Amino acid sequence: MKLSRSDVVPLRAIIAGGAVGVLTSGALVLSRGTVRRALTLVVLTGGLACSDEASTPALVARDSLGIRLIRAASDGERLSLSPLPFSAELPEFGDILDVAMTTSGLLVVLDPLGPSVVVLDSTGAEQTRFGRDGEGPGEFRAAGLTGLVLVGDTIIVPDAFNQRVTFFDLEGRLMREFAMSSGDGFTLDWHSHPDRGLIYRRMSFPQRLETVGMLGSDLRVVQDLTHLSLPPEAGPLTPLPAWCVLPDGQLVSARTDRYRVTVTDDGTPTAVLSGDVGDRPFGDAELAHLHELVRESLAQRMQAEVDLQLVRGMIAQMVLPEEAPRLGGVVCSEAGEVWVQHALPVLELGPGVIRVGSPEAWRSPVWDVFDVGGSRVRRVLLPEKAHITRVTRDVVVGFTTDEYDRKIPARWSHP
């Protein structure tokens, strides 16, 4: 169904304004021009939702524009991912920022403390390692690395500090590079785009998504992120954008303090994904817990007891959210699914949450996996201290953190 601009704009306003709501018994359907009648209808009938499968419950509806409203049920079966061990001894890593997998099963690991890119074969043995700290050809600055992009057998490493994007083959040979000016903000969160080459987030005001050709030409703004209403000032637990690109080019975007994920096709909404994670107000108990986390973090750094007055002074200068995080992030799979990670309650967080600008400390092991086309939802439980970076058609890849806080590449069987 092709939508006209006059049809789309009111719905986008509804979605951005938070008017797409959910009742416990079903999904709330808001038709253009009939919001009040739709609300009354849902209250009286219990919603228009149905379950696709008893073992993978999802509440599904369509609004009058054909947009799918898919809600994950809170009582779904939890599927645990089974680890796929490596037969060879893994090399040591200083840190791990990103892990990707080639079609032939090679793992490509970005280590920001090298800084280096490490290619592992299917057994886990190191095949090649390249890159070093610097500003010359094939060199990186750790402060500018946010991830890597894998297109076929080409490894693409964006470096915001050096303001360039470098292309390597699997042997580590430098193929080409092009300059990327920081302009009005650094470029972050790079992904491949099936039609437009590379897509990334520019940390500007407002933040926006842009695409660039594989050779560095045809720079184009795709979408701004004003609909995420991100605050200009950062602090612990500050809402962050979460986004990814589906294989067909559809954009998936959300913000971490709301469980409402929007799927758009060239700016036109096609689906809204939601789930029940409960209210997450940032109240007195959460504030007291944050006080303790700040005290604990300072005590670890200073190797001494910390004056509570100092802690109170630091808290007073922090920008605290009204709502605690609900999401840890989103990942688009090669099969066209959307993986949505839950966030831990504030009272379960550790000192790592004091770090500003990263959701890593509040990520939960629980993921909801949406089949956007089939409206099916599964709930996946990750091992503790495990992080997903890519989901292929057959394997889930990422890394785990051991008891010594070392990060280790990992693979799991696809659920």
Output 91 or 223, whichever has higher pLDDT: 91
| The predicted structure's pLDDT at residue 295 | 85
| The predicted structure's pLDDT at residue 219 | 82
CA–CA gap between residue 34 and residue 36 (Å, rounded): 6
CB 273 within 8 A of CB 372: yes
| The predicted structure's pLDDT at residue 311 | 82
Give the residue from 102, 72, 18 showing the smallest Cα distance to 394: 102
Residue 16's pLDDT band, with cuts at 50, 70 and 90, is very low
Of 28-32, 129-133, 203-207, the one with minimum mean pLDDT is: 28-32
Q: How much of the chain, in percent, has pLDDT values that exceed 90?
A: 47
| The predicted structure's pLDDT at residue 36 | 28
Residue 277 in this model has a pLDDT that exceeds 50: yes
pLDDT in tens, 244-270: 999 999 999 999 989 999 999 988 999
| The predicted structure's pLDDT at residue 57 | 57
Domains and CATH numbers, the chain: 5-72 (no CATH), 80-278+329-344+358-413 (2.120.10.30)
Residue 20 in this model has a pLDDT that exceeds 60: no
| The predicted structure's pLDDT at residue 76 | 64
| The predicted structure's pLDDT at residue 58 | 65
| The predicted structure's pLDDT at residue 26 | 31
Of 9-13, 70-74, 136-140, 337-341, the one with minimum mean pLDDT is: 9-13
Average pLDDT score, the chain: 81
pTM, 2 dp: 0.82
| The predicted structure's pLDDT at residue 355 | 80
Average pLDDT value for residue range 152-176: 95
> Per this entry, what is the length of the chain?
415
CB 34 within 8 A of CB 63: no
- Provide φ and ψ at 397, rounded to 5°: -125, 155
Chain centroid to CA 381? 17
pLDDT in tens, 102-122: 999 999 999 999 899 999 999
Residue 40 in this model has a pLDDT that exceeds 60: no
Q: Considering Cα of 163, then 191, then 406, then 301, what sign does the dihedral take?
A: positive
Residue 336 in this model has a pLDDT that exceeds 70: yes
Residue 23 in this model has a pLDDT that exceeds 70: no
| The predicted structure's pLDDT at residue 316 | 83
Average pLDDT value for residue range 288-303: 84
Residue 273 in this model has a pLDDT that exceeds 50: yes
pLDDT in tens, 175-210: 999 998 777 788 889 999 998 899 999 888 778 889
Q: How much of the chain, in percent, has pLDDT values that exceed 70?
A: 85
What are the structure tokens assigned to 93, written together? Answer: 């890593």
Average pLDDT value for residue range 343-349: 91
Average pLDDT value for residue range 367-379: 88
Question: Where does residue 346 fall: left (phi above 0), alpha (psi -120 to 50 degrees), or beta otherwise?
Answer: alpha
Residue 43's pLDDT band, with cuts at 50, 70 and 90, is very low
For the ranges 37-51, 200-214, 400-414, the one whose mean pLDDT is highest? 400-414
CA–CA gap between residue 20 and residue 6 (Å, rounded): 19
Output 9 or 82, whichever has higher pLDDT: 82
Average pLDDT value for residue range 310-316: 82
